Amino acid sequence: MKRILLAIASVFTLFISHAQITTDKVINTLKERITLSGYAQAGYTYDDLKESTNTFDVKRIIFMAHGQITKEWSCYFMYNFNSGGNLLEVYTDYQFLPGLTARLGQFKTMYAMENQMSPSEIELINCGSQATNYLAGVDNSDKLYGSSTGRDMGFMIFGDLFQKRLSYNLAVMNGQGINIKDKNDNKDLVGYITFNPAKIISVTGSFIKGKGCAVETSDINPDIKKDQSYTRNRWSLGSVLKTKPLNLRAEYLAGKDGNVKSEGFYATTNYHACKNFDIILSYDYLNKNKDMDYKQQNYVAGIQYWFYPKCRLQAQYTYCDNKKVKTATEFKRRFKCVSKPPIN
């Protein structure tokens, strides 16, 4: 009887040891293949416009997971826990060649330089220029497109060529935004190319050519109704200069929704004044409707202090100079007043 008990105990011990080894292997494999990260941003805003703002707020709470399934195959997940939660990105990549990788899922639309940057990197507290937020569909300033956080669903190929002197991205996207099915049969063609002639400078161009389906109506473009398909085209050209004391980023953006043309420009500089201390200056221009002359210019000045790696405190002041026509009806009245009869 004692021998039987000893045999059972030995087998049980071996089973536990084997299970422990297997568990350790799984844990080590997960550690090697899965990377978890995240960040949060909070602040205080005071705005002295008619509808004044005086509030503390949490801007975003981001969780990210990257999985390296094989050497060529990986996956990525990003979620924002703020404001009820929102799935931002979920996609998979497969590298066929050193200069050719394919991506399928929900990810950043490859339009405009600022749209490719993380809010943890952008110098401005409001995360980007008016032009980027409006034309890339980052916030809800473009009522026709809605708030898509500058992301969409689709398929993309990308890579680096000529020793990373040239980077390219070419995608076919729904053109409808995130977490929603396409509302028409058309797809957007999106392109993004970067040329790096030297280590300190790069030049980037991008475009979107497609058709959207309006999620709401807009006073900027009253001819397009809700749920109506409309031509939605975008293009941009910009450059980045990076030196040890100074970073400068500038970009011109333009768009056309139906018959309405819009344009914008920004220039943002980050001067490293001393250790862990930066001075931020930015100029920002957007004209949502060139016929209406519906434009606004922002002048930003601020400072930021890096008190720990990847942790910073920011303080910025924005002066807004706007020239806006409140409604399409007002625009029509103004246009009628200044128009003159033809000279025969």
For the record, the structure tokens of 213 come out as 């389906």
In a domain? residue 260: yes
In a domain? residue 2: no
Cβ-count burial 221-249 (b if 16+ within 10 Å, e if not): beebeeeeebebbbbbebbbeeeeeebbb
Domain count, the chain: 1
CA 157 to chain centre: 18
pLDDT tens across the length of the chain (344 residues): 555 545 555 555 656 665 666 776 767 777 788 999 999 999 998 888 767 778 999 999 999 999 999 999 999 999 999 988 899 999 999 999 999 999 999 999 999 999 999 999 999 998 889 999 999 999 989 999 998 999 999 999 999 999 999 999 999 999 999 998 888 889 999 999 999 999 999 999 999 999 999 999 998 889 999 999 999 999 999 999 999 899 999 999 999 999 999 999 999 999 999 989 999 999 999 999 999 888 999 999 999 999 998 899 999 999 998 876 554 444 433 333 333 333 33
Task: List, in sequence order, every beta strand (DSSP E) within 53-200.
Answer: 53-68, 73-80, 86-97, 100-108, 151-161, 166-173, 188-198
Question: Tokens 């303080």 identify what position?
Answer: 315
What's the predicted TM-score (pTM) here?
Answer: 0.85
CA dihedral 26, 72, 165, 251 (to 10 degrees): -70
CA 261 to chain centre: 22
In CATH, what number is assigned to the domain containing residue 243? 2.40.160.10
In a domain? residue 177: yes
In a domain? residue 13: no
DSSP designation for 209: E
Expressed as residue numbers, the domain containing 202 is: 30-338
In a domain? residue 21: no
In a domain? residue 135: yes
In a domain? residue 5: no
In a domain? residue 212: yes
Rounded to an integer, what distance in angstroms lies between the CA atom of residue 169 and that of residue 101? 10
Which residue from 267, 243, 263 is spatially nearest to 255, judged by alpha carbons? Answer: 263
